[in-house]
């Protein structure tokens, strides 16, 4: 398990990468990681996330109150107004150890244009991110925004907040950041394909193979079957489950 000192450095590194990769601007975006059942290490409000120092990060409890020893660097810093959304992720998912919220331009542009991610055609995104839902628009940093992700985060590791940004979670804050990279990379490809004028869907049997791979690699989330069936117009779920089972069995036997 990564210690607090290393976690502080890792969060600063993620902030730097988010800024360098243009996933955030000015003081936007926020990053957090679970220290234990009741304490969350988080980026404070008002800082440019590309230029933070580890001692500027703050510790909050599950109610969002700043706790822990103050340092000269963070004494006057306050929790981010988007902390509600982070806390909701930890409350809904005991497996979540890290949360990353950004404003990746291409991903957000797709939501503004009304193009969803829920039937994307990029194999790696299907395997790693699954079906990516987009919430209805909610005012950033509001309780309404927290409520918009409350149920979705139980079943998804990546969510788009319409007109606003992305939310990615994982069993480590680094992997939550990796999911953000995958999300924006996927959005760029989708954006280009839409510009070229034709998005050709993958055939259902290829989607099923990717779903089986997702399950085998441990990325599957509860309700995946129904969601994929709906998003990709796949055949009856019982049939699909059987086929997935066959593919998993076959793939496993090749490894054993
Ligand atoms: Zn935001």
Distance separating alpha carbons of residues 15 and 117, to the nearest angstrom = 25
Domain ranges in the chain with CATH number 3.40.225.10: 4-196
Distance in Å, CA 27 to ligand 1 centroid: 10
Distance in Å, CA 245 to ligand 1 centroid: 40
- Residue 50, CA atoms < 13 Å, CB-side half-sphere: 13
**Are 60 and 39 spatial neighbours (Cβ–Cβ below 8 Å)?**
yes
The DSSP 8-state label assigned to residue 155 in this structure reads H
**Are 75 and 44 spatial neighbours (Cβ–Cβ below 8 Å)?**
no
Model confidence over 212-238: pLDDT tens digits?
A: 999 999 999 999 988 998 888 887 555
Model confidence over 139-197: pLDDT tens digits?
A: 988 899 899 999 999 999 999 999 999 999 999 999 999 999 999 999 999 999 999 99
The arithmetic mean of pLDDT across residues 36-44, rounded, is 96
**Residue that has been written with the tokens 């059942």 in this structure:** 37
CATH superfamily for domain 4-196: Class II aldolase/adducin N-terminal domain (3.40.225.10)
Distance in Å, CA 165 to ligand 1 centroid: 6
> Around ion ligand 1, which residues have CB less than 5 A away?
140, 165
Distance in Å, CA 96 to ligand 1 centroid: 19
pLDDT of 42 higher than 60 = yes
Distance in Å, CA 141 to ligand 1 centroid: 7
Handedness of CA 161, 48, 178, 96 (dihedral sign): negative
Distance separating alpha carbons of residues 69 and 118, to the nearest angstrom = 43
pTM of the model: 0.90
Distance in Å, CA 103 to ligand 1 centroid: 6
Distance in Å, CA 49 to ligand 1 centroid: 13
């Amino acid at each position: 398990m990564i210690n607090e000192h290393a976690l502080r450095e890792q969060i600063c590194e993620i902030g730097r990468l988010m800024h360098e990769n243009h996933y955030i601007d000015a003081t936007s975006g926020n990053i957090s990681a679970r220290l234990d059942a009741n304490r969350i290490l988080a980026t404070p409000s008002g800082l440019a996330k590309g230029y933070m120092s580890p001692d500027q990060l703050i510790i909050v409890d599950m109610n969002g109150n700043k706790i822990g020893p103050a340092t000269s660097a963070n004494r006057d810093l306050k929790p981010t107004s988007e902390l509600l959304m982070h806390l909701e992720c930890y409350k809904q998912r005991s497996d979540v150890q890290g949360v990353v919220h950004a404003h990746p331009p291409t991903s957000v542009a797709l939501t503004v244009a009304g193009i969803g991610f829920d039937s994307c055609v990029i194999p790696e995104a299907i395997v790693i991110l699954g079906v990516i839902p987009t919430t209805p628009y909610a005012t950033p940093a509001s309780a309404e925004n927290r409520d918009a992700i409350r149920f979705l985060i139980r079943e998804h590791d990546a969510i788009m907040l319409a007109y606003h940004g992305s939310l990615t979670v994982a069993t480590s804050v680094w992997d939550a950041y990796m999911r953000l990279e995958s999300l924006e990379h996927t959005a760029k490809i989708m954006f280009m394909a839409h510009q070229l004028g034709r998005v050709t869907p993958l055939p259902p049997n290829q989607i099923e193979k990717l779903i089986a791979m997702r399950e085998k690699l441990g990325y599957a989330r509860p309700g995946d079957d129904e969601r994929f069936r709906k998003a990709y117009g796949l055949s009856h779920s019982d049939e699909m489950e059987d086929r997935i089972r066959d593919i998993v069995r076959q793939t496993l036997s090749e490894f054993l």
